[in-house]
């Protein structure tokens, strides 16, 4: 097919777009560090509560975040696949800066806009970030490397970058309480500055748009983004295991994020100061660093079919310990089991999803995962806040832990049923 008549932006460049030089990985490391020094993440609930917002109102704000994120997930995933993953990350930083600065004026409208901008920021970042890491893993190997070799390298790279992010989060969380005591504006101003600086290293990287084996397919999808969306949805539907991993990732992420955020108010309720809570979350991030560093070895030694369910059970066990009447046991369960299981679950489930996602629609498929997460958060986060008006934190943790186990079991049953159904269809067609 002759493509010379098309605009230059729509032609397929047959030369490699992703150089294998290590400097691209170093640039991404700097981006990961700067964009994750979040000096507001450990105290924003406390900040809003001090401004008179109830747990239910805070839950509704978080619901708005996830509505904005859900609405923009698929468009931003397509944007990352077709325009470039670097451009998607730059857009994420821009919306992140705006979101942090809007918190400085905590009126109802400004806070709502801050959460909406934050949702769009995370949508631009979600699928693009993991797709970049997979590309770096693939390009660092020989052209004939097997998919298993790419997956192993991806798990190591993902854990390495995640460790960088966790160190940055630990620094931000550890300082957040002290910054809030010094000035209520300081955590949000420093957050905006860090995210703005993260754009710099991204400009040192290539566009990171996936190549196509067939030029005509590339042009067709760029001219018709809906065709790209359909291809991504079809890829998830064709593989019951990929679909199950996407659903399980969204379920665990919803339970962990909701419980983790509201733990700020739980710890405040049992007598911890804002500075102490910041330190606790900082210690949690350091422990996450250790757990994540060990994840590649564990992933390499334990089969995925056993490891992922065990980590989900670990998250549920942590919640059950947090539901007890002893704050010290709850704190141990929170730091050593709940967060540890999640820290290893994230790279394990990400490796499984990326190993089964097609390269051409990788960011779009990953956006399906984060979109499902946002859809679940829209319901669970405000419900959790509403439930705290009638139940204790311990009762809420117990209910969420049991719900996680039942939901995971349901997803497992769905995957089993779909695989049996597809096997039966293949047998009928073969007759």
pLDDT digits (tens, 9 = 90+) for 246-265: 999 989 998 998 888 778 77
Residues 6+ apart with CB under 8 A from 207: 17, 83, 84, 85, 86, 87
150 vs 33: which has the higher pLDDT: 33
What is the per-residue pLDDT for 215? 42
Give yes or no for residue 190 having a pLDDT over 70: yes
Angle between helices 85-102 and 186-197 (to 10 degrees): 160
**Which pLDDT belongs to residue 410?**
95
Neighbours of 31 (CB within 10 A): 27
d(CA 119, CA 64): 8
Out of 14-23, 132-141, 152-161, 375-384, pick the least confident: 14-23
**Distance of alpha carbon 268 from alpha carbon 278, whole angstroms:** 11
Q: Residue 225: which pLDDT band, with cuts at 50, 70 and 90?
A: low
Interatomic CA distance for residues 30 and 387, integer angstroms: 40
| Residue among 220, 219, 171 at smallest CA distance from 194 | 171
Q: Comparing 123-132, 218-227, 257-266, 302-311, which segment has the lowest mean pLDDT?
A: 218-227
* pTM as predicted: 0.68
Would you say domain 20-208+224-426 falls under CATH 1.10.3080.10?
A: no
pLDDT band for position 402 (50/70/90)? very high
According to the model, what pLDDT value does residue 90 have? 94
Domain ranges across the chain: 20-208+224-426
> Is residue 16 pLDDT above 60, yes or no?
no
Confidence of residue 234 (pLDDT cuts 50, 70, 90): confident
Q: Report the percent of the chain where pLDDT is more than 90.
A: 20
Those residues with Cβ within 8 angstroms of residue 222's Cβ, 6 or more apart along the chain or in another chain: 10, 82
Query: Which DSSP helix (H) or strand (E) runs through 177?
Result: helix 147-182
CB 119 within 8 A of CB 67: yes
Q: Centre a 10 Å sphere on the Cβ of residue 349 and count the other Cβ atoms it contains.
A: 23
Say yes or no to pLDDT of 332 above 70: yes
Contact 390, 241 (CB under 8 A): no
pLDDT in tens, 46-80: 888 888 888 778 878 888 888 898 888 888 888 88
When pLDDT is averaged across residues 385-414 and rounded to a whole number, the result is 87
């Amino acid at each position: 097919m002759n493509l010379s008549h098309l605009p230059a932006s729509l032609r397929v460049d047959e030369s490699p777009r992703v150089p294998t030089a290590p400097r691209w990985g170093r640039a991404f490391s700097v981006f990961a560090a700067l964009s994750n020094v979040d000096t507001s993440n450990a105290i924003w609930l406390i900040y809003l509560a001090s401004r008179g917002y109830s747990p239910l109102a805070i839950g509704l704000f978080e619901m708005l975040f996830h509505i904005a994120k859900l609405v923009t997930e698929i468009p931003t995933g397509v944007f990352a696949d077709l325009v470039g993953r670097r451009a998607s990350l730059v857009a994420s930083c821009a919306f992140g800066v705006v979101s942090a600065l809007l918190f400085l004026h905590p009126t109802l409208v400004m806070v709502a806009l801050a959460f909406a901008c934050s949702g769009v920021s995370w949508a631009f970042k979600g699928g693009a970030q993991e797709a970049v890491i997979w590309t770096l893993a693939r390009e660092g190997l020989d052209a004939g490397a097997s998919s298993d070799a790419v997956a192993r390298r991806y798990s190591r790279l993902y854990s390495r970058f995640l460790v960088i992010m966790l160190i940055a989060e630990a620094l931000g969380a550890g300082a957040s309480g002290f910054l809030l005591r010094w000035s209520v504006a300081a955590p949000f101003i420093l957050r905006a500055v860090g995210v703005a600086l993260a754009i710099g290293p991204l400009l040192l990287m290539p566009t990171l748009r996936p190549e196509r084996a067939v030029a005509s397919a590339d042009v067709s999808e760029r001219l018709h983004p809906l065709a790209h969306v359909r291809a991504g949805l079809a890829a998830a539907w064709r593989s019951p295991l990929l679909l199950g991993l996407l659903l399980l990732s969204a379920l665990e992420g919803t339970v962990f994020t909701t419980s983790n955020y509201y733990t700020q108010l739980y710890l405040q309720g049992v007598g911890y100061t804002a500075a102490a809570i910041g330190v606790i979350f900082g210690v949690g991030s350091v422990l996450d660093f250790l757990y994540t560093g060990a994840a590649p070895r564990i992933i390499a030694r334990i089969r995925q079919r056993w490891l992922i369910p065990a980590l989900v059970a670990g998250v549920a066990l942590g919640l059950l310990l947090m539901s007890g009447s002893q704050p010290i046991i709850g704190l141990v369960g929170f730091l050593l089991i709940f967060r540890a299981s999640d820290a290893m679950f994230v790279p394990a489930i990400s490796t499984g999803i990326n190993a089964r996602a097609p390269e051409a629609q990788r960011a779009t498929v990953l956006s399906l995962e984060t979109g499902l997460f946002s859809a679940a958060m829209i319901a669970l986060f405000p419900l959790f806040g509403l439930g705290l008006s009638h139940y204790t934190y311990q009762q809420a943790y117990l209910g969420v832990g049991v719900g996680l186990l039942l939901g995971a079991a349901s997803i497992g049953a769905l995957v089993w049923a779909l695989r049996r159904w597809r096997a039966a269809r293949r047998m009928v067609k073969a007759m």
